[in-house]
Amino acid sequence: MHALLAELVRTNSVNPSLTAGAPGEGPIAAILEREFADSRFVVHRLEQTPGRPSLVIRRPGTGGGRSLMFNAHMDTVGVETMAEPFSGRVANGRLYGRGAFDMKGSLAAAVAAMKALPVLAGDVFLAAVADEEFLSLGTEEVLRHYRPDAAIVTEPTGLDLCVAHKGFAWFELTVEGRAAHGSRFDLGVDANLAALPLLQHLAALNAELLARPPHSLLGPPSLHLATLRGGTGWSTYAASCTLQVERRLLPGETAAQALGELPPGTRLVFHRPPYETKPNSPLVALAQRALPQARITGQTPWFDSALYAAAGIETLVLGPAGEGAHADVEWVDLASVEVAAAAYLQIATEFCQTEKHP
């Protein structure tokens, strides 16, 4: 497992939607196709977007049991500021490199669990997906073809059981002015200054959001002004000013509701729903048996778990420990990768050996 993880980290799979010319998921998919070439597994390659493959690896069951899908993304963010992005170096029980934590450690653990599975009543799947770091095209494509009874999204959680995370919505608002020479106050309309009331509105709204009753695991909702673009030069009145706002959504909130709290003229650009599952769900109970010391937690980032939950699939987020997602130094704890693999194996064995209820 450690050797596979090192190979995965040494293999560049930076998302080309984030870094022009990056190789994307293809090289990792080739490694996984090699790893699952024997007859115990069925490998389905999905590639609706050319050059952006996702793989669904199935360990067929004998029939009558529940199905479980593990999910891990193959892509990573960029490496521009990293000194050793693809080293796979091991020191003090940690393996270093881009994607080690987010989330090739999880992928290696899921591969190990799949290979160790006995024959069960139900099918076990591993979805190794593309594009989680941008638009989640891979998981969306997988869910158009598969509907497992439950899913474990193997994002790193420090071996805790994540049962909730926030969603997000991206909004854009443009204020129009009129361009003119900087000396012609009589002709120019400064779009940047005209945006001031909107900035005040956003500041007041964020303060109000932060004062709302918090979610027990996630805290309050929030927003921030992500970008502010206006003007073309020192001596020109700004013809337009564009504000881009990100709003983080609690379970129960929708992008449409968030839009209604923003100034008129704001448009919704993109959004993803929040995720929440019951802490006493059958899947969580199995995970607690496999990891008795694990805590029930919420996580701050958005994961593909929200897409599984939105499809009506019982979902849990569980993965190894480490640090440095999207940072200059990234590492995963190797002992926790081994623990995660053992937990995945135990959960799948218990879940998929149980017959479905009609």
Locate the domains of the chain by residue range: 2-165+274-352, 167-272
State residue 318's pLDDT score: 98
- Residue 206 in this model has a pLDDT that exceeds 70: yes
Task: State the amino acid at position 71 in one-letter form.
Answer: N
- Residue 248 in this model has a pLDDT that exceeds 90: yes
State residue 355's pLDDT score: 57
| Mean per-residue pLDDT, 244-254 | 98
Q: What is the pLDDT of residues 214-240, one digit of tens each?
A: 999 999 999 999 999 999 999 999 999
What is the spatial distance between Cα 312 and Cα 317, in angstroms, rounded to a whole number? 15
State residue 354's pLDDT score: 65
- Residue 25 in this model has a pLDDT that exceeds 80: yes
What is the spatial distance between Cα 289 and Cα 45, in angstroms, rounded to a whole number? 33
What is the average pLDDT score of the chain?
96
State residue 356's pLDDT score: 60
Q: What is the pLDDT of residues 34-45, one digit of tens each?
A: 999 999 999 999
- C-alpha distances (whole Å) from 278 to each of 13, 33, 309, 314 are 34, 35, 11, 9
Catalytic residues: 75, 132
**Tokens 């440095």, residue located:** 324
Rounded (10°) angle between helices 282-290 and 334-352 = 130
Give the pLDDT band of residue 94 (cuts 50, 70, 90): very high
Q: Which fold has domain 167-272?
A: Alpha-Beta Plaits (3.30.70)
Q: What is the pLDDT of residues 270-321, one digit of tens each?
A: 999 999 999 999 999 999 999 999 999 999 899 999 999 999 999 999 999 9
| Mean per-residue pLDDT, 5-34 | 97
State residue 357's pLDDT score: 53
Q: What is the pLDDT of residues 136-163, one digit of tens each?
A: 999 999 999 999 999 999 999 999 999 9
Q: Which fold has domain 2-165+274-352?
A: Aminopeptidase (3.40.630)
- Residue 210 in this model has a pLDDT that exceeds 60: yes
Q: What is the pLDDT of residues 111-120, one digit of tens each?
A: 999 999 999 9
E strand map for the chain: 42-46, 54-59, 68-73, 90-91, 94-96, 124-129, 150-153, 161-165, 167-176, 222-230, 240-249, 267-272, 275-276, 296-299, 314-317, 322-323, 331-333
Helix (H, G, I), strand (E, B) or coil at 290: helix
